[in-house]
């Protein structure tokens, strides 16, 4: 994906070059803030068959489900570069933005497992664990906008943007519980047993790569000469791929998913009377999406009676994420 990042930068500076004969303004906007939210994936496998245990055929469903929820709370920092018309700033604009995480999450990664056998025992949660997470996260976004309406101190623009997000997490140790299985009654016990292990050791590596393409509207409201707000909303088709290297189980799971999301932003800006620092801006950004695809699992070492190179595919796979960022920016003009 590094080639994609380079391509975005080349396109951005190409636009700068082609507009070099016009009256332009460029601002640089350093940004610092807090990010919150989560990314989770759910594997939900169901298999139906005819069960002849009682003599007569009975349609039976076996269902097993795993849900892994990864924390995204972190400090973030970055930089935006904005190019727009000096004569008519709201008429059009081009923006390139880069953010990255500056700390590991405070919240835990959570892993839950369920199983059910419709003619034998009910759908039951049989395991739950929490783990520490070490995370690296980066976001790059390129955007172009054009004004479509202007009325006094209010204007509306349409914009198109592409956003790439790369999330890498190392999951360390686990603490939780499990529910043993009663082979006589053929069901899970009501009681649970504490489980803990691999403290300070890597148990799982997870990577989620997200490509979003946004189309939306931006409204600018000038409350006073120096004070304005921006309200932004967009639809965002999303294309994902993720990799889960479960080092404890010696198994790697991969998937590709397609889905839909939406984004919303609120910016409050106050202009400053300084030569190079033109404004200060408070931001709130919201992003949520859901995508569906299929997962393939491959064992790369012998574990729990499973031979190396054993693989299962076409497992239903859902990825969901909700993210928000609260940040502060200053505008540095050239």
Q: Would you state the pLDDT for residue 232?
A: 98
Tokens 């349409």 belong to 158
The CATH architecture of the domain made up of 2-333 is Beta Barrel (2.40)
Return the structure tokens found at 330: 């200053």
Run of H or E including 23 = none
The structural domains of the chain, with segments of one domain joined by +, span 2-333
Per-residue pLDDT, averaged over 33-56, amounts to 87
- pLDDT tens digits along 117-150: 887 888 999 999 999 999 999 999 999 999 999 9
Checking if the pLDDT of 20 tops 50, the result is: no
Banded model confidence at residue 4, pLDDT cuts 50, 70, 90: low
Query: Measured in whole angstroms, how far is the alpha carbon of residue 184 from the centre of its chain?
Result: 44
The 10s digit of each residue's pLDDT in 239-279 is 999 999 999 889 999 999 999 999 999 999 999 988 889 99
Buried b (16+ CB within 10 A) or exposed e, 118-140: beeeeebbbbbbebbbebebbbb
The pTM of this model reads 0.88
Here the tokens at position 5 are: 């990042």
pLDDT tens-digit profile of 174-229? 999 999 999 888 899 999 999 998 888 999 999 999 999 999 999 999 999 899 99
Residues 11-21, mean pLDDT to the nearest whole number: 49
DSSP code of 307? P
Consecutive H or E run containing 244: strand 227-246
DSSP-derived 3-state class of residue 251: strand
**What pLDDT is attached to residue 113?**
96
The pLDDT of residue 50: 78
Output the CA–CA distances (angstroms, integers) from residue 85 to 29, 221, 242, 250, 271, in the order listed.
17, 18, 40, 56, 17
Assess whether pLDDT exceeds 90 at residue 71. Answer: yes
């Amino acid at each position: 994906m590094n080639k994609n990042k380079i391509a975005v930068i080349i396109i951005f500076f190409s636009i700068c070059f082609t507009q070099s004969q016009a009256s332009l303004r460029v601002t640089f906007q350093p940004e610092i803030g807090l990010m919150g939210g989560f990314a989770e994936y759910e594997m939900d496998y169901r298999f139906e068959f005819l069960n002849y245990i009682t003599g007569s055929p009975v349609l039976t469903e076996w269902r097993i489900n795993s849900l892994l929820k990864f924390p995204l709370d972190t400090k973030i920092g970055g930089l935006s570069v904005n190019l727009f018309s000096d004569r008519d700033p709201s008429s059009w604009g081009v923006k390139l933005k880069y953010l990255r995480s500056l700390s590991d999450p405070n919240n835990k990664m959570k892993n839950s497992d369920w199983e059910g056998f419709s003619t034998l025992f009910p759908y039951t949660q049989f395991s739950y664990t929490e783990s520490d997470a070490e995370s690296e996260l980066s976001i790059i976004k390129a955007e172009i906008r054009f004004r479509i309406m202007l009325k006094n101190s209010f204007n509306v623009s349409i914009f198109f943007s592409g956003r790439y997000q790369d999330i890498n997490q190392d999951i360390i140790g686990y603490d939780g519980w499990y529910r043993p299985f009663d082979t006589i009654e053929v069901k899970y016990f009501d009681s649970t047993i504490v489980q803990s292990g691999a403290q300070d050791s890597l148990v799982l590596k997870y990577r989620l790569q997200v490509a979003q393409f946004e189309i939306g509207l931006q409204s600018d409201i000038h409350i006073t000469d120096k004070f304005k707000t921006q309200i932004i909303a967009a639809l965002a088709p999303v294309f994902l791929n993720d990799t889960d290297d479960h080092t404890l189980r010696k198994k790697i799971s991969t998937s590709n998913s397609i889905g839909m999301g939406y984004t919303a932003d609120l910016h409050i800006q106050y202009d400053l009377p300084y030569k190079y620092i033109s404004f200060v801006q408070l931001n709130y950004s919201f992003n949520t999406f859901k995508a569906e695809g299929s997962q393939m699992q491959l064992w790369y070492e012998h574990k729990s009676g499973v031979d190396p190179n054993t693989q299962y595919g076409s497992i239903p796979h859902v990825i969901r994420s909700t993210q928000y960022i609260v940040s502060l920016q200053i505008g540095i003009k050239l």
